[in-house]
Structure 1
């Protein structure tokens, strides 16, 4: 990519409303009665989910994590996601409603799903 194109791309990115992007999930959370938890993004991909040891050498590649202390192995993104989830302190379902009420966008549970499997 040329320097001029890169400069234009950087300007376009900075011109977008990052504050509005941050407000969107907060507004959705108010609507659904959920909470937004900000998690410090520092070092989740270098910290072992099993033993909490942080070492840059544990991140063997873009996709592989292997702890230098306890030898725990996992996909690096999965390990980082587990650390982020743990830092948030709770799990949030995909529908985002924490079972307070059903989201209008979520499909209802159908009796057919609970029926015996097809033969």
Structure 2
């Protein structure tokens, strides 16, 4: 449970980056919500990797293989995020921030499980 709470706190930090970029691009540059969300997702992903590697999962694995797995998980998460954003913001016409909150909740559950059990699991030599 402690690890999940730390993961959620890191998620809040990543969300600040993600939502900040989303709002900036949407409101100031009038970017489409799915594109703005995708760019914000990448910013949040960088924040998430750095904090999860060092603080949540306290990984001692080499960065390259760990980062590759993290990017694979994040890419799947980006696909889910973009699909939900498109469905809710474009398809249904929901405000982009409400659509993003929904997408964030779904992606958070996916990424916690995938990162815990795959990205930051035992090192490759211990498997």
Give the TM-score normalised by structure 2: 0.28
**Higher Cα radius of gyration:** 1
Give the TM-score normalised by structure 1: 0.29
Of Structure 1 and Structure 2, the greater helix share is in 2
